[in-house]
Structure 1
């Protein structure tokens, strides 16, 4: 089934920006507002290693989950490349960092929705729980009454190696 993509931005303790997509994330709690992110170990040549995103979250305690609209699919895919931890992945993806309001990690300016989070806890299986400190929602992505206008920005969903769009929405 399609899963939303968490495009996670972090900053290393040396100040290098990291941006990576993860398709295992969800709401963990409504009160306090908490998101859950699963960051598995490295695969392929990096099998058994810890991903830079997890290292950065552990070391700084801050991260941003950006939601990926269809128009940023190619940028998101570029940011999934296995690159050195000293490489700025915002530059690699060709997106603009937007200074955080509550955390010292930028969001993706071109993403219509971004959640600024502080680390709550990491569960041994690499589940990261982050307390929502600030939410940015662009006006064109907001339908009012706490609803998102998915038709206006078409969020991407992951289908393993492929992607899906959610349309049209309907009510029962």
Structure 2
């Protein structure tokens, strides 16, 4: 079978992409508005963009559902404040991740709605999630509009990891982390780890 994206509705192209590019890690992004309102939302179009300087990127699409066609609060906040935090969620935090993905009014605080604890960052204004095992403070490097979406590239200025999740020698304990990911519309847990001979994939 084959599909020509120019002949498909956007939602159907999205289904093919999100069901094929898997598993996808989740960037649990905390930001803050000009008025000081805390915002929290998960994004699975997320990866490392550069090693030196360390940069991360997330892709943010337009609002959906009741907010279809609108600009998401996360994008607005990063545009105006030029700072954000990428928190990494473990599987036990899945319910909180899902809650923070709901369409809340812009004046609502998703930390409160999801029952999470905001803690101060050191180099940026947006709060970190205390419960998240890993938090990365980022400053905006660039926003690139790509079709209907916006690619946000941020430089990581400070990395936080809870001691129980650190193996030493700058390595993360994946068995402890139990990273939460996305498989199309479903969630996934990475828990089986193995190596391949002459592994050159980076």
Higher helix share: 2
Displacement of 1:171: 2.2
2:171 to 131, 147, 152: 147
- What's the counterpart of residue 6 of structure 1? 27
Q: CA deviation at 1:148?
A: 1.2
SS in 2 for 1:124: strand
Q: Which residue of 2 is the match for residue 121 of structure 1?
A: 142
Question: The residue matched to 2:30 in structure 1 has which SS?
Answer: strand
Q: Give the CA RMSD over aligned residues.
A: 0.9
Q: What is the alpha-carbon distance in structure 1 between the residues aligned to residue 187 and residue 155 of structure 2?
A: 28
Among residues 182, 193, 197, which one is paired with 1:169 in the alignment?
Answer: 193
The structure with the larger Rg is: 2
CA shift, 1:159, in A, is 1.1
1:41 to 46, 62, 75: 62
Distance in 1 between residues matched to 2:115 and 2:29, nearest whole Å: 15
Give the 5 Å matches for 1:1-172: 1-125=22-146, 126-172=150-196
Distance 1:87 1:14 in 2: 12
Unmatched 5+ stretches in structure 1: none
| SS in structure 2 of the partner of residue 63 of structure 1 | strand
So what's the TM-score if we normalise by structure 1? Answer: 0.97
- Point out 4+ residue stretches in structure 1 off by more than 2 angstroms: none
Give, in whole Å, the separation in 1 of the partners of 2:46 and 2:64: 19
Structure 2 residue runs without a partner (length 5+): 1-21, 197-202
The CA deviation string for residues 146-166 of structure 1, in whole angstroms up to 9 with x for no partner, is: 221111121101112211111
CA distance in 1: counterparts of 2:88 and 2:131, whole angstroms: 10
Query: Given the two structures, how large is their TM-score scaled by the length of structure 2?
Result: 0.83
How many Å apart are 1:58 and its aligned residue?
Answer: 0.3
What SS does the corresponding residue of 1:136 show, helix, strand or coil? strand
Count of aligned pairs between the two proteins: 172
